[in-house]
Structure 1
């Protein structure tokens, strides 16, 4: 499946702490034997995403997504199985031989060349003289060595191919360097460095790997763009990245909120002032993918965008996207300052935190911004203002919250509250009823037994060599459980004896989801009577002589809609009655 030796995959899977890995992305909270969080794969208000550290698997009971630590990274980072194995191998100190197909892949080479480029740019900056243009610029922005190191800032020298020559010396071919977005072709058709004479901001993924760069010009003429960024590459998709996220995610979990600003220098200015839970959108309109990143670490976001018209418009668009992701959003317009850097020249951290605390909610900000465009002393202006503001209130899902904003809109415009309510509810699109849940798979009594038996074998694969050794896939009447049993057998043949390992064998995504759900389902097995129950389940699944008649009798005792526990309890009563009859 991956070209990587099975024992290496097993070693990495065994060492990887799934709670630790998932915690890099989600705010997990202990919930009994599991950890729980809002699912990163679908929108929800109540956490249904569960991680089981003992079984080393996850499952969302809301959307059905599930798997092990490899699956989680593959889904979240949009990477392949070998790349997920490689990432965790590096994290947990397991070497993967080059012939395994991971180290030599183009993706890994792109990551490697970007890491070397980061060091090159960073060392170039450190080696520049005190009176150099770049050092004078940094001094003018009051960026000291601590900040330079924290963000690994760099400098692209004012030369056509300084980085290109350096990377060629490190045995990288032009095609990989180009694929990483570090070079481009000149008008003469020769390769040249993409970044020249610029202060460079390395952009990292959630795990801290360099994936791109943003460069600020040191030139003052209008011909040169103030900022240029890396192009889209196999590892960099700007719509899925927030600048500084790898540094801010843990502080955001601690503070239970993330500050969102516009640019690289805004994040640096925040850090300089003592604000660590801060990220930037950096030259792109805010996206739903970026909202997902925020929702993984906190439930609150504070937008601190530039106070000009463009900044306020961006704040409104971003607030709408974040609200759709069910984050609590506030919008802070810094008084007397265009951006954080300007604000902190006159104010301190405590003043900023006080403003954050009193910042209006996104809906209030949006209402105020809408009303600001009309003369509220004029009847026509009030009517237009209310009608434009009403759609904002319809987006508020919480009824109590919506009630408060209807009162607020009424107070601001002078419109009667009952009129506002009619406008919001009367023309409000009728709430779409949730899609009906899929009807449960029609279960025969034997399929109930098959379900429990599969769960027993997932949790205790040693039974395959004992009480369950006579089972074959054809014994299972339910096609789903037949496939699961075949995977368990395959795993046993490959010495894979854990639910997390079996999940890697499931190439069909729906099958993998069903497996993870079954592995996490509670109350299926009575551990105190497990051995006896196993024998009973095997007998039912094998359908030995006379078993079908017994099944019919059991169904009469337990009822067609009985739970698994009720069914087997009824079965025990039936067997006791049969023994008495035989006597």
Structure 2
């Protein structure tokens, strides 16, 4: 077996532009020298997700996650480290060189990865059958072309065809070495009680469903038969990688255009997305016939705050979708709607009109959702006062869901005009509904919290914990130790090569001679003979690697090197510390007005080493005292001598701390 060579890994990291990579998943906006967006890991509504192009790292302050572009793909797309590297290599056209590794280095593929592998194989198989088999060309390809899809469009959406035979695909997959277990778990195959393996999608045209990064998650399949007993569409069942409620069809193809246009068009079906995209309207996705979910809305919100829903004119269908639109409003997005002429849907309308006419129609006919809903429901109520009262309450309920106070106010004034109502009456109703909505939301939150407390298992912390999380969970960790250890590692990651100046003989005030050397060398020389260790395991690992490089006379690894680590805990910790959390300008607050940055760093480094030592000595003293209290020492005289020795060390360190200038 082989693995990606270190030289290739370095080339990939050198080629990466983190703002480009993350920009495919999150809408980023310039914020000083960095870029900012909404967290893709939480449901925040105020951006706290920061990307630093200069340092090539990201930090998500709402979830605590951070790292490089590789780390992001591992967290967001659940890639393994090699998969993230291969994805980036393809994006940046880096040729991959591989080294042979031993069997011991081979890791068994997880169930999730096995499902991805079999799904990728199925997509390629269905595409191949569409283009390279007589049956596929005569039936599947002909159907797509009759729908008006060009070859470029068919290939862009990776459309395919599953042969008209109950087990043809399954037999082929088994013969290629794909495990029956994962064919069944992915939903591609169905196993009968007799043990026979059948194809789920046989005799159908195939619509692959992709993740935001382009991984194949599942499939939609349409029958071309006229048999009324046969379901027109079939979808992959839920699996470890495919969750219909968390996916939007076409998002992989449209994400760039959504960010560019700062708007997402939402339709219902696969062909609506494909036809609009082919017509030049590329910022479009589909809910694939399912009721809109919060997870789908949040996918959109990562890329834009503006959504336009395209309707085909079916009044019953429009009213049924109002609940989904309320969810969009509640998530803080701006919602507009557009109604196509009677008898038309996005698919048919797009095929009949050139791009400029389609763009004009979309621009001119869309309207804000609240006004649209008010006019539509008021038309139905006619002169029935009870029906009209219910309509008013329904519309105000939608307005009450909007988080932004200014938007609520504008919508309420507009609706008052449409309904011919006094604004103060609607404001009173809005206040009551808004309070009820907030109370219900708080109640649901408390219920969920109690449920989580009841069902939360007592398990060991997962390996993906950040260094900060690990610090708080570790029994051996206390805040004082963590703070002092963190300061040392921060210097090693960020300023190891920066020159500091310190007294040649700190115990002799008359000796004015100064020594100049890199901060990293100073720390290593001061600590390596004392035998002190770090309580935090991640810090100890980093320190050991830095010390080993120094002893071997190799280049000392920096924060950038550790951020590239395959170990996500080290990568995350390094990213956390590659920020100016120990701002040297803080000395101004302490009324130490020094302009030379090197002087600030010198003082900080010397103090960090001394405080680290002081902290460790205090622990040694405390440990011996505890042993004396518990009478676990045979020689109490020796213990007292050790306490005296450590106390002298502590006093000496404290004296040196007072002399640091």
| TM-score, normalising length: structure 2 | 0.71
Q: 1:517 to 1:317 in 2, by over 3 A?
A: farther
Deviations 1:234-286 (A, max 9, x none): 33222222222221111112211121211111111112322111111213322
Q: Which residue of 1 aligns with 2:127?
A: 122
Q: Is the 2:8–2:96 contact (alpha carbons within 8 Å) kept by the matching residues of 1?
A: no
1:365 aligns with 2:372: yes
- Structure with larger Rg: 2
Greater shift, 517-526 or 202-211, is seen at 517-526
2:333 is the counterpart of 1:327:
yes
Q: 1:395 aligns with which of 397, 401, 416?
A: 401
Change (3 A) 1:75 1:316: farther
From 460, 465, 475, the equivalent of 2:495 is 460
Please give the alpha-carbon distance, in whole angstroms, between the structure 1 residues aligned to 2:201 and 2:406: 52
SS of residue in 2 equivalent to 1:470: helix
- Asked if 2 retains the 8 angstrom alpha-carbon contact of 1:256 and 1:298, the reply is yes
User: What does the per-residue CA deviation read over 1:384-415, in whole Å, with 9 as the maximum and x for residues that have no partner?
Assistant: 22222222121122222111111122112222
Write out aligned runs for 1:88-487 (5 A). 88=88, 92-94=94-96, 99=103, 100-101=105-106, 106-126=111-131, 127-128=133-134, 132-186=138-192, 188-309=194-315, 311-313=317-319, 315-358=321-364, 359-375=366-382, 377-426=383-432, 428-429=434-435, 452-461=487-496, 463-471=519-527, 485-487=539-541
Which residue of the partner structure matches residue 539 of structure 1? 610
Q: In 2 relative to 1, CA 419–325 (structure 1 residues): closer, same or farther, beyond 3 Å? A: closer
Report the CA distance between 1:31 and its aligned residue. Answer: 2.8
Larger mean Cα displacement after TM superposition, 111-120 or 401-410: 111-120
Q: Report what 2:49 is aligned to.
A: 49
Instruction: Please name the residue that 2:557 is paired with.
Output: 497
Structure 2: tracts of 5 or more residues without a match: 446-471, 473-477, 498-518, 550-555, 586-596, 615-649
Distance in 2, matches of 1:148 and 1:117, equals 16
Q: Say if 2:130 and 2:137, in contact at 8 Å, map to a contact too.
A: no
Distance 1:103 1:17 in 2: 31
Answer yes or no: is 1:28 the counterpart of 2:28. yes
Name the residue aligned to 1:75. Answer: 75
Q: How far, CA to CA, are the matches of 1:536 and 1:467 in structure 2? A: 11
Please state if 1:520 is matched with 2:582: no
Return the offset for 1:546: 5.2
Change (3 A) 1:403 1:105: closer
Return 100-109 or 531-540, whichever deviates more: 100-109
Cα offset, 1:505, TM superposition: 7.6
Shift of 1:50: 0.7
**Change in 2 beyond 3 A, CA 1:116/1:512:** closer
Is this contact kept in 1: 2:208–2:220, CA < 8 A?
Answer: yes
My pick for the range that moved more, 342-351 or 281-290, is: 342-351
**Structure 1 residue 71, shift from structure 2 partner:** 3.4
Q: Quote the Cα distance in structure 1 between the aligned partners of 2:114 and 2:356.
A: 45
Give the CA deviation at 1:383: 2.6
Contact kept, 8 Å, 1:475 with 1:541, in 2: the verdict is no
SS at match of 2:578: helix
CA distance in 1, matches of 2:13, 2:545: 14
Per-residue CA deviation, residues 398-439 of structure 1 (Å, 9 max, x unaligned), is 22211111112211222211111122125531868999xxxx
More deviation, 179-188/424-433: 424-433
Aligned length: 542
Shift of 1:549: 6.8
Residues 31 and 491 (structure 1 numbering): CA distance in 2 closer, same or farther, change over 3 Å? farther
| Cα distance in 1 between the residues matched to 2:582 and 2:378 | 55
Q: Any idea what the Cα deviations from partners look like across 1:135-154, whole Å, max 9, x if unmatched?
A: 44334322232222222221
Supply the distance in 1 between the matched residues of 2:482 and 2:77 (Cα, whole angstroms).
37
Cα gap change, 1:249/1:447 in structure 2, threshold over 3 Å: closer, same or farther? closer
Per-residue deviation, 1:220 = 0.8
- In structure 2, distance between residues paired with 1:306 and 1:31: 40
3-state secondary structure, aligned to 2:523 = coil
- Name the CA shift for 1:453/1:172 in 2 (closer, same or farther; >3 Å): closer
Distance in 1 separating the partners of 2:326 and 2:143: 37
Q: Distance between the aligned counterparts of 1:307 and 1:459, measured in 2?
A: 60
Match of 2:542 in 1: 488
Change (3 A) 1:42 1:405: same
Secondary structure, aligned partner of 2:161: strand
TM-superposed CA distance for 1:360, in Å, is 1.9
Following superposition, the deviation at residue 507 of structure 1 comes to 8.2
TM-fit CA distance, 1:218 = 0.3
In structure 1, the residue corresponding to 2:35 is in which secondary structure? Answer: strand
Q: Distance in 1 between matches of 2:275 and 2:568?
A: 48
SS at match of 2:50: strand
**Closer, same or farther: CA 308–37 of 1 in aligned 2, 3 Å:** same
| Conserved 8 A contact 1:73-1:84 | yes
Q: State whether residues 103 and 109 of structure 1, in contact with CA within 8 Å, keep that contact through their aligned partners in structure 2.
A: no
Deviations 1:495-530 (A, max 9, x none): 683436546889897x98776444334671364432
Q: Secondary structure at the match of 1:50?
A: strand
Q: Distance in 2 between matches of 1:549 and 1:445?
A: 20
Are the counterparts in 2 of residues 452 and 525 from structure 1 also a CA contact under 8 Å?
Answer: no
**Is the Cα–Cα contact under 8 Å of residues 153 and 201 in structure 1 kept in the other structure?**
yes
SS at match of 1:220: coil
